[in-house]
C-alpha cells in the first residue's frame, strides 16, 4: 500500500513540474532579465506552503495557483509581477506566511497586490452575510491596482472550470455570483473571451438542461456549419489577398449563453437563431493604415454579399468605453441567411480578447482613456460614504452592462454615457450643481424635458434654475450611478433637515401632553405608527401627517405597545422559521441541510413545479419561498443574500397540481382551438384555468394557464401539443 502512495507522489511531482514549465512557456513573451528567478522563487514558496493541502477533487492544491498564474499570463496577458502574485494569491490567507514575509522577498508592489487579493477573498467568503458591502471593498482595491481584479478574475475562472467536485448548493452560489458580478466585470474590462466562458460555465450549473440542449444542438450541425463557413470565407479570402491586404479570415462559434439570450429575447426556438457563429477578418496593418484597411475589407465583403443597412456598427471611429475597436456588419449569405462579419486589426483583436492588459502594451500609441475614465467613475462612486451597499451594487451593475453613447456639449466636447441615459444624467455628468438645478435641456437646439432619452451624437445644452432641487422621482429618470448617488445624498440631506424640524415640533407636542421625551417613548411611538425608524416619525410630524390628535390616540391606547425592533433578515434561519411555523401538509418539498419538511410558498416570479431544479429563500415576512434555479431573480438573490438561501428538493409527492403557463403560436386553422383544448383536457386530463387567444392575419398566438403535476407531465403535454396541425411552437412561460 505504502509503495503505491510513493509512486503517486512521484507522479504528482512530475505533473507539478510539467505544469510549472508550461507556465514559464506562457509567460515567455513578457519575461525580462531576472524575471524567471522571481517566478521560480514564488513557485517554491507556494509549493512549500501548500504542500499538505488538497483540493476537493483530491488533487494537490498547488495545481490551482499554477493554473491561475497560467490564465493571468496566457489569457489576460499579464506580466511577471502578476504571475508572482497569482502563484502566491492564497498563501497569506491559508498558510503561516505573512505579508511582511512577502514584502521582504518580493517587494512592496507584490505585497500590496497580494494584500488586495487577500482582502477580496474574504469578500466572497461563502458564509459572509452581505455580499454587496464586500463587493464594494473589492472595488476599492481596483482603485489602487486593477491587477488585483484581473488576478481575481483568473482565480474565479479556474474555480468555475473545476467546480464539478463542489456540493450542489456551493455550485449554485458561486455560479450566481459569477453571472451577477464577475462576468459583467470581465465585460467592462474588455475581456470578452473570459466573459463568454464565465457566462457559459455559470449557465452550465444554473440551468444545466438548457445548456446541454444547446450544446447538443450545436454539435449536431458542426460539420454542416464548417462547410458553410468555408464556402462563405473563400471568395473574401481571395479578394483580400488580391488587393494586397494581409488578413486571417475565419469563422468563430457564438457562446451558448449568447445563443440562449437571443432565443429568450426574440422568443424563438433554437432552429431560428441564425447567427450561431460570426466571421472574423483580422488584418495585419501598420498603425497608420488601420482605419483605411478596415474600411477596405468592409468594402470587399459588401461587394460580395449584400449588407443589412441597419446593422453596421462602427467602433473603429469611436471605440467603446472599454477600448473595444471593431467594424461589425451583417450580410446576407449565399443560403439566404444573415451572417455577422467582424473586421479588425491584430492590435484591435488583442485588445478585444485581452482587454485591459493589452491596453498597457499599446498605451503609448493609444490616446484612448476610456478605461481610466471608468476607473475614475468607480472611485467616485466608492468615495460616497452614504451609499447603501445593495443600491450601490445595482447602480454599479447597471454601469457595467451598459453600452455607450457619445454626447456633445454646446462647445463640441465629447461626453460618454451609458445607453438609455437621459438629459438629467448628462447634467449630473457635467457637474453635481448643474444636475441638482436642472429644469430641462435643449437637444440639438430643441427644448426637451429632463427625462428625455439621449441618442448617440446628440448635442445637449442644460437649462438650470436656482429654485430647482432634486426630487424623489428623479431616481426613476436617471440611469448613471453618479447621478443616482448624488440625487440620493441630496434627498437624504433634505430629509435630515425636515426630520430636525419634526423633532423639535414633536418635543413641543409631547411636552404639552406631559409625556417625557426620551428614546424609549420615541421608539414606542414609531412602532405604534408602524414606521420603520424614528427619522420617519420626525419626518411625518414635520409634514403634518402625525398631529396632536394622533398622539392622543396613542395615549388612549394605554401605551401598551411593546417596543420591539423590526426583525432583521440576518436573524432569520431555517431553524428560526421551523420554530415559528407549524408544519402543514408539506410533504412535497424537503428543505434545509437535513432535508426537513417545512411550510413554504412558491415564488410567483417563476412558478416552480415538481421536477424543476429549485432552492429555498428565507424571506422576512413570508417564511420560505421556493424559486427555480434559473428564475430571472435567482442570480441576484444568491449573489447578494447567499446566507438566506437553503437547499430544497422535490419529494415523491401525492398527486398535486401546480399552475404554469404555456404560450402556443401557430397558423390559424378551423378548429385549432378545439384541437388544442382536446389534447389538454381529454387526452391529458389537465385542468385549464384560463385561456387568452389572439389571432392576427392568420397567425394564432395563445396563452393558456394550466394545472400540471410535474415537469415530466408538462413536457409530454408540450410534445403532444406540437403534433396538433397548425401549431408551430409551444413554450412554457413564467406567469
Q: Which three cell numbers, joined as nine digits, stand for 678?
A: 382536446
C-alpha separations of 21 from 40, 76, 154, 330 in Å: 10, 18, 19, 43
Distance CA 630, CA 627 (A): 8
Answer for the pair 128, 643: CB distance below 8 angstroms, yes or no: yes
Phi-psi region of 457 (alpha: psi -120 to 50; beta: other; left: phi over 0): left
Among candidate residues 12, 93, 103, 599, the one labeled active-site is: 93
Which H, E and C letters describe 595-646, residue by residue? CECCCCEECCCCCCCECECEEEEECCCCCEEEEECCCCCHHHHHHHCHHHEE
Phi first, then psi, for residue 109 (nearest 5°) are -60, -50
Task: From 628, 638, 622, select the one nearest 605 (Cα to Cα).
Answer: 628
Distance CA 715, CA 723 (A): 13
| Residue 389: partners with Cβ closer than 8 Å, 6 or more residues away | 130, 132, 133, 135, 136
Distance CA 70, CA 280 (A): 26
Distance CA 214, CA 492 (A): 48
DSSP symbols for 181-206: IIHHHHHHTT-HHHHHHHHHHHHHHH
C-alpha separations of 539 from 430, 499, 500, 512 in Å: 32, 5, 8, 20
Quick check: helix, strand or coil at residue 420? Answer: coil
Quick check: helix, strand or coil at residue 502? Answer: helix
Measure CA 128 to chain center. Answer: 19
Q: Is residue 293 annotated as a catalytic residue, yes or no?
A: no
| Residue 422: partners with Cβ closer than 8 Å, 6 or more residues away | 450, 451, 452, 453, 454, 477, 478, 479
Task: From 47, 126, 144, select the one nearest 90 (Cα to Cα).
Answer: 47
End-to-end CA distance of the chain: 59
Q: Is residue 94 annotated as a catalytic residue, yes or no?
A: yes
Residues with a catalytic annotation lie at: 93-94
Amino acid at each position: 500500500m505504502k509503495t503505491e502512495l510513493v509512486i503517486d507522489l512521484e507522479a504528482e511531482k512530475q505533473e507539478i513540474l510539467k505544469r510549472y514549465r508550461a507556465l514559464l512557456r506562457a509567460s515567455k513573451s513578457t519575461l525580462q532579465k531576472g524575471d524567471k528567478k522571481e517566478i521560480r522563487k514564488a513557485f517554491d514558496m507556494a509549493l512549500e506552503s501548500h504542500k499538505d493541502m488538497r483540493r476537493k477533487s483530491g488533487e494537490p492544491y498547488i495545481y490551482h495557483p499554477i493554473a491561475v498564474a497560467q490564465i493571468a499570463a496566457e489569457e489576460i496577458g499579464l506580466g511577471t509581477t502578476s504571475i508572482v502574485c497569482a502563484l502566491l494569491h492564497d498563501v497569506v490567507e491559508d498558510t503561516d506566511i505573512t505579508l511582511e514575509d512577502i514584502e521582504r522577498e518580493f517587494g512592496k508592489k507584490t505585497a500590496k497586490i497580494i494584500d488586495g487579493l487577500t482582502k477580496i477573498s474574504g469578500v466572497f467568503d461563502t458564509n459572509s452575510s452581505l455580499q454587496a458591502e464586500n463587493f464594494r471593498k473589492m472595488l476599492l482595491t481596483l482603485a489602487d491596482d486593477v491587477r488585483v481584479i484581473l488576478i481575481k478574475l483568473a482565480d474565479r475562472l479556474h474555480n468555475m472550470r473545476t467546480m464539478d467536485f463542489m456540493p450542489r448548493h456551493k455550485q449554485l452560489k458561486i455560479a450566481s455570483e459569477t453571472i451577477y458580478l464577475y462576468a459583467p466585470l470581465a465585460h467592462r474590462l474588455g475581456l470578452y473571451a473570459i466573459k463568454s466562458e464565465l457566462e457559459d460555465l455559470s449557465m452550465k450549473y444554473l440551468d444545466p438542461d438548457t445548456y446541454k440542449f444547446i450544446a447538443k444542438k450545436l454539435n449536431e450541425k458542426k460539420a454542416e456549419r464548417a462547410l458553410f463557413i468555408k464556402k462563405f470565407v473563400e471568395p473574401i479570402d481571395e479578394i483580400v489577398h488580391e488587393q494586397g491586404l494581409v488578413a486571417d479570415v475565419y469563422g468563430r462559434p457564438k457562446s451558448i449563453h449568447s445563443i440562449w439570450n437571443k432565443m429568450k429575447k426574440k422568443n424563438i426556438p433554437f432552429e431560428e437563431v441564425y447567427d450561431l457563429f460570426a466571421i472574423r477578418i483580422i488584418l495585419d496593418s501598420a498603425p497608420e493604415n488601420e482605419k483605411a484597411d478596415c474600411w477596405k475589407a468592409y468594402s470587399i465583403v459588401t461587394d460580395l454579399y449584400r449588407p443589412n443597412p441597419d446593422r453596421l456598427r462602427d467602433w473603429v471611429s469611436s471605440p467603446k468605453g472599454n477600448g473595444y475597436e471593431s467594424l461589425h456588419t451583417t450580410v446576407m449569405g449565399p443560403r439566404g441567411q444573415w451572417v455577422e462579419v467582424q473586421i479588425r486589426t491584430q492590435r484591435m483583436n488583442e485588445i478585444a480578447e485581452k482587454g485591459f492588459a493589452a491596453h498597457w502594451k499599446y498605451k503609448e500609441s493609444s490616446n484612448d482613456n476610456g478605461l481610466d475614465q471608468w476607473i475614475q467613475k468607480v472611485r467616485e462612486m466608492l468615495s460616497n460614504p452614504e451609499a447603501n451597499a445593495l443600491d450601490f451594487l445595482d447602480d454599479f451593475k447597471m454601469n457595467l452592462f451598459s453600452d455607450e453613447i457619445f454626447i456633445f456639449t454646446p462647445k463640441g466636447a465629447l461626453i460618454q454615457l451609458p445607453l438609455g441615459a437621459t438629459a438629467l444624467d448628462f447634467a449630473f455628468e457635467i457637474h453635481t450643481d448643474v444636475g441638482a438645478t436642472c429644469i430641462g435641456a435643449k437637444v440639438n437646439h430643441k427644448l426637451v424635458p429632463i427625462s428625455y432619452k439621449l441618442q448617440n451624437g446628440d448635442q445637449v445644452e442644460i437649462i438650470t434654475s436656482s429654485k430647482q432641487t432634486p426630487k424623489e422621482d428623479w431616481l426613476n429618470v436617471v440611469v448613471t450611478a453618479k447621478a443616482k448617488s448624488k440625487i440620493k445624498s441630496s434627498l437624504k440631506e433634505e430629509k435630515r433637515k425636515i426630520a430636525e424640524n419634526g423633532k423639535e415640533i414633536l418635543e413641543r407636542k409631547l411636552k404639552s401632553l406631559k409625556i417625557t421625551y426620551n428614546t424609549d417613548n420615541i421608539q414606542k411611538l414609531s412602532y405604534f405608527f408602524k414606521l420603520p425608524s424614528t427619522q420617519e416619525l420626525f419626518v411625518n410630524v414635520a409634514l403634518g401627517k402625525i398631529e396632536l390628535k394622533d398622539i392622543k390616540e396613542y395615549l388612549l391606547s394605554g401605551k401598551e405597545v411593546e417596543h420591539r425592533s423590526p426583525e432583521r433578515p440576518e436573524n432569520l434561519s431555517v431553524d428560526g422559521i421551523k420554530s415559528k411555523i407549524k408544519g402543514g401538509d408539506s410533504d412535497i418539498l424537503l428543505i434545509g441541510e437535513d432535508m426537513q419538511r417545512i411550510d413554504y410558498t412558491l415564488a410567483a416570479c417563476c412558478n416552480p413545479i415538481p421536477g424543476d431544479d429549485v432552492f429555498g429563500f428565507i424571506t422576512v415576512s413570508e417564511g420560505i419561498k421556493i424559486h427555480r434555479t434559473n428564475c430571472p431573480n435567482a442570480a441576484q438573490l444568491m449573489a447578494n443574500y447567499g446566507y438566506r438561501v437553503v437547499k430544497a428538493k422535490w419529494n415523491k409527492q401525492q398527486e398535486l397540481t401546480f399552475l404554469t403557463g404555456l404560450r402556443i403560436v401557430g397558423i390559424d386553422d378551423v378548429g385549432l382551438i378545439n384541437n388544442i383544448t382536446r389534447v389538454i383536457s381529454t387526452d391529458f386530463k389537465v385542468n385549464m384555468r384560463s385561456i387568452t387567444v389572439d389571432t392576427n392575419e392568420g397567425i394564432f398566438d395563445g396563452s393558456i394557464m394550466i394545472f400540471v403535476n410535474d415537469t415530466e407531465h408538462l413536457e409530454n403535454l408540450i410534445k403532444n401539443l406540437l403534433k396538433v396541425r397548425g401549431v408551430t411552437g409551444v413554450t412554457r412561460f413564467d406567469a
